[in-house]
Structure 1
Amino acid sequence: MKNLLKGAVAIVAVFFSTQFANAQQKLGHINFAEIIQSTSDYKTAEGQLKTLSDGKTKEIQDMVTIYQTKQKEANDKLRNRSEANKETVDPEINKLGQELQDIQSRIQTAQQAAQEELGKKEDELITPIQRKVAEAVSAVSKEKGMAYVFDISSTNIPYFQGGEDLTAAVKTKLGISATAAPAAPAKK
């Protein structure tokens, strides 16, 4: 009977110590996106991406201008087509039609290639920044003894109260002024 009582007391003690330990776990939260956008690396990457995007947009716009010029030329030929000149105008219109299809195909290919190139460049530039910020978050979380840290910028947390906001501490760890405003989101 004494052994049974001692066993029960031991189980209760373990249960309460586990509950006490769980109650002592510290929770924190960060705004990962804000931290990333506050880094100078992000601002540099954003500038490089904008330059690349503007260049690709200009290339595609130049192709569209050529397309529009050819289309106007084809429409003019169609308007001026008559029974008398149809044997010379019809082959020209057919040729312009084929050129328009080719240009349209090149435009679509250029748009897809530009999207892929921009995506790869974004990954190339942003991934190291994300890794650097994640390492800083881990370091600050360990320093502050956090059991859990939630990212409030991307996680669907409908409600939270309490917990420690580690955003400023992570910014400080990264050498970012805690009052620095995040960069405006990139326009797509």
Structure 2
Amino acid sequence: MKSKIHELTKINRFNVSKHLKSLLFATALFIGASSFVSAQNKIAHINKEELIKAMPAYATAQAEVEKLAKTYEAEFQDQLKEIENLVKQYNAEAAAQTDEENIKRKKQVDGMKQALAMYQQQKNQDLSKKEYDLLKSIADDADAAIQAVAKAQGFQYVLDSAMLIVADGKDLMADVKAHLKL
């Protein structure tokens, strides 16, 4: 029985090895063909982050997010001050209270602190979602403008130059800004 399993394992290893060689050959062939085809493609680049930051909607979105963040921070500070005042009051009265009452008050304060931490976490999530929603629409507008300019100029690929070192090539920034009337 063991020899049969051993024999099957050898056969499976051979088949896997054979398939791996075929896969590697196909990958090498694909890469070679891709490099030949890409030599015939028109490629441009643009720094998308720079474009988005140049759009007026970006400044408006940032201001809205900052205003909301300040509102949340003020609410948080008010609640924190309320807890701190309650702690001061309970500490001043602790000597006159029973151990049971002091334990009860400590649990109350701990619960309030935990609720405040959850509140802060929820508001941070709300703020992140708001920022994402605002910036997504701006990024979508930037993408649409980039695609329109690239198509009009016959470019098949537009790379984000923020992640590239570009020595040469067509930078679409001025053309896209003109398209967006910036």
> TM-score scaled by structure 2?
0.72
**For 2:108 and 2:144, how far apart are their aligned partners in 1?**
54
CA contact (8 A) 1:63 1:103 kept: no
2:56 aligned residue (40, 45, 67): 40
Question: Which residue pairs with 1:140 in the alignment?
Answer: 149
SS of residue matched to 1:48? helix
Q: Aligned residues: percent identity?
A: 29
Partner amino acid, structure 2, of 1:172: A
**For 1:162 and 1:24, how far apart are their aligned partners in 2?**
16
Structure 1 residue 60, shift from structure 2 partner: 0.8
Partner amino acid, structure 2, of 1:95: K
Question: Which residue pairs with 2:108 in the alignment?
Answer: 99
Partner amino acid, structure 1, of 2:166: F
Map Cα deviations across residues 12-53 of structure 1 (whole Å, 9 max, x no partner). Answer: xxxxxx95x743432211111111111111111111111111
Describe the shift of the 1:113–1:173 C-alpha distance in structure 2 as closer, same or farther (beyond 3 A).
same
How many pairs are equivalent?
A: 148
2:162 paired with 1:162: no
Structure 1 residue 134, shift from structure 2 partner: 0.2
- Stretches of structure 1 lacking an aligned partner (at least 5 in a row): 1-17, 177-188
- Stretches of structure 2 lacking an aligned partner (at least 5 in a row): 1-34
**For 1:149 and 1:46, how far apart are their aligned partners in 2?**
27
Question: Which residue pairs with 2:15 in the alignment?
Answer: none
More helix by share: 2
2:73 paired with 1:67: no
SS of residue matched to 1:146? coil
> TM-score scaled by structure 1?
0.70
CA contact (8 A) 1:26 1:146 kept: yes
**For 2:174 and 2:93, how far apart are their aligned partners in 1?**
67
Question: Which residue pairs with 1:27 in the alignment?
Answer: 43
Map Cα deviations across residues 55-96 of structure 1 (whole Å, 9 max, x no partner). Answer: 111111111111222222333345xx3xxx4xx343442233
CA contact (8 A) 1:26 1:163 kept: no
**For 2:39 and 2:160, how far apart are their aligned partners in 1?**
21
SS of residue matched to 2:156? strand
